[in-house]
Structure 1
Amino acid sequence: MTGRLRADARRNVEGIRRAALDVFRAGGLTTPLDEVARAAGVSKGTIYHRFGSRRGLIDAVVEELVLERIEGIITAVEALDDPLERFEEYLLRTWLLQFDEPAANDVLMRTLPESEPLTTLFDRSCGFGRQVLHDAQAAGAVRDDITPEDLAYLILERGVIARACDQQTRDDYRRRLDFVLRGLRTAR
């Protein structure tokens, strides 16, 4: 899009993108476009003119907002050898990302299921989660009755908790995650 635009229009688009990144990082993908427009110093109509829709703007920035963080989780977990440690570290890092990053939480909660980039990020994370679950179950470290769907709901539920219980500290949230993780292990 920016290659065909005049220089001032390209600056305008880039300013909107930068503002959207800042605003969505702080408040998540459901933050009103009025806040993005105010941060960019443009009208909401300019956002619609340049990006077509709210979803168009989100699609234009969501990978930059979240992809690196999800890939970072996957890379860190892949470096671990123990299947239980990999499983628990995947969940712990994902849950903490949901607490720390409202935009990442929106991706993992599928706030905008019609967004192709958002769905791709969600599917990447869940696909990796299914693999670490399978590996941990095959090693006898995680309960056999946990399904990939259960895993997706555990992430969704943690996202709801992170959003609804925004007065809790990160340390308290982290402490409660340990309770959940222990409940997923096999009895030894």
Structure 2
Amino acid sequence: MTEPGPRLRADAQRNVEDIRRAALDVFRIGGLSSPLGEVARAAGVSKGTIYHRFGGRQGLIDAVVEDLVAERITGIIATVDTIADPVERFEEYLRRIWLLQYDEPAANDVLLRALPASEAVNSLCEHASEAAGRLLGDAQATGRIRHDLTPDDVYLLIWERGIIARACDQQPREGYRRRFEYTLAGLRAPAEPSP
């Protein structure tokens, strides 16, 4: 959110809200690296107005990232936390995060840490990483997920999947999903040999 400051005139407040709405729309479609010119055109303002009101790209992203991505990630965590089986919980977390990366370029940018200078983006990414580590630990405790898988491995799998989603934006969603199921299968512990 923007820092509290002097009360804005009604027209200036409308500009701020128009810019926020435009940024949400533009970033959802094109990711956080979308040109500020696109946001300005969508909001019906100049790029200078964006700089004046938000201090530039970083300030604008920090002002909208909560609405743009945080609710989706925290919603995924809350939803999977209701699943009783720890392995299903862990796998469903990865499925939902990977599909979010495919569906929403801005969420993918957050999970790829594309903006290392953004405290808001880094905090959100840390929250997602901590949840993944917790879910991994619970799943490993069942003995059904590989014991040698680390939280860093899980982070890198999310990162790799994000690179794939970004590089292969022409692939059908169902093919993308089918292929990540192979990755999930590889995370399961090998079956014990029969006596």
TM-score range, shorter chain: over 0.9
Please point out which of 164, 167, 172 is paired with 1:164: 167
Distance 2:175 2:6 in 1: 48
Structure 1 stretches of 4+ moved >4 Å:
none
CA RMSD of aligned residues (A): 1.0
Distance 2:40 2:32 in 1: 14
Letter in 1 for 2:99: L
Letter in 2 for 1:119: N
Which residue in the other structure is 2:135 paired with?
Answer: 132
Are 1:120 and 2:94 matched, yes or no?
no
Please point out which of 80, 85, 95 is paired with 1:82: 85
Which residue in the other structure is 1:176 paired with?
Answer: 179
Contact 1:66/1:103 (8 A) holds in 2? yes
TM-score by length of 1: 0.98
SS of aligned partner of 1:4: coil
Are 1:152 and 2:160 matched, yes or no?
no
Distance 1:185 1:117 in 2: 33
Which residue in the other structure is 2:96 paired with?
Answer: 93
Which residue in the other structure is 1:12 paired with?
Answer: 15
Letter in 1 for 2:119: E
Are 1:65 and 2:68 matched, yes or no?
yes
* Matched length: 188
Distance 2:5 2:108 in 1: 29
Identity, % of aligned positions: 65
TM-score by length of 2: 0.94
Deviation at 1:117, TM superposition (A): 1.0
Residues 33-72 of structure 1 mapped to structure 2, 5 A cutoff: 33-72=36-75
Please point out which of 22, 25, 50 is paired with 1:22: 25
Distance 2:127 2:112 in 1: 13
Deviation at 1:71, TM superposition (A): 1.2
SS of aligned partner of 1:86: helix
Distance 2:5 2:38 in 1: 23
Contact 1:78/1:86 (8 A) holds in 2? yes
Deviation at 1:3, TM superposition (A): 5.9
Contact 1:2/1:10 (8 A) holds in 2? no
